[in-house]
Amino acid sequence: MPAHLDPRLLRAFLAVAEDLHFTRAAARLYVAQQALSRDIRRLERELGATLFVRTTRQVTLTLDGERLLPYARRALEAQDELLAAFGRPDAERPLLVDVNSPGLVSGRVLALARELAPDCELMTRFESGLTGAAAELLAGRLDASFGRFAGLDPAVRARLEQQPVRYEPMAVVLPEDHRLAEMDAIPLDALAGEQVYAGAGNPRTLEWTDLARQLFEGRGIEVAAPAPLAVGTEEFQRIMAKKRNPVLAVMDFPAMPKSVLRPLVDPVPLSPVSLVWRKGLVHRGVEALRTAAARLAGAEGWLERPSEGWIPATDALIMMSRA
204-260 pLDDT per residue, tens? 899 999 999 999 999 999 998 876 665 656 666 676 666 778 989 899 887 788 889
Q: Is the pTM of this model over 0.85?
A: no
Work out the average pLDDT over 129-133.
92
Higher pLDDT, 7 or 64: 64
Average pLDDT of the residues in 151-159: 93
pLDDT(202) > 60: yes
Q: If you average pLDDT over residues 303-315, what whole number do you get?
A: 92
Phi, psi of 120 (to 5 degrees): -105, 125
Mean pLDDT of 274-301: 92
Residue 323 has pLDDT above 50, yes or no: no
pLDDT for residue 196: 92
* 287 residue type, one letter: E
Q: Could you tell me which residue, 201 or 298, shows the higher pLDDT? A: 298
Q: What is the pLDDT of residue 280?
A: 81
Q: How confident is the model at residue 269 (pLDDT cuts 50, 70, 90)?
A: very high
Query: 271 forms bridges with which residues in the sheet?
Result: 168
For residue 177, pLDDT beyond 70 = yes
Higher pLDDT, 22 or 5: 22
User: Could you tell me which of 273, 311, 312, 314 has the C-alpha nearest to residue 293?
Assistant: 273
210 or 140, greater pLDDT = 210
Strands (E) across the chain are located at 52-54, 59-61, 95-98, 122-125, 144-147, 160-175, 186-187, 195-196, 222-223, 247-250, 259-265, 268-278, 309-310
pLDDT confidence of residue 112: 96
- Tell me the average pLDDT of the chain: 88
Mean pLDDT of 164-189: 94
DSSP reduced 3-state for 82: helix
CATH fold label, 7-86: Arc Repressor Mutant, subunit A (1.10.10)
Q: What pLDDT shows up at residue 90?
A: 42
CATH code matching the domain that covers 95-319, chosen among 3.40.47.10, 3.40.190.290, 3.10.20.30, 3.30.70.920: 3.40.190.290
Q: For residue 316, what are the CA distances in angstroms to 14, 192, 252, 275, 313?
A: 55, 26, 21, 15, 5
pLDDT in tens, 64-117: 999 999 999 999 888 777 766 665 544 567 899 998 877 789 999 999 999 999
243/42: higher pLDDT: 42
Looking at residue 185, what is its pLDDT? Answer: 97
Query: What residue spans in the chain does CATH classification 3.40.190.290 cover?
Result: 95-319
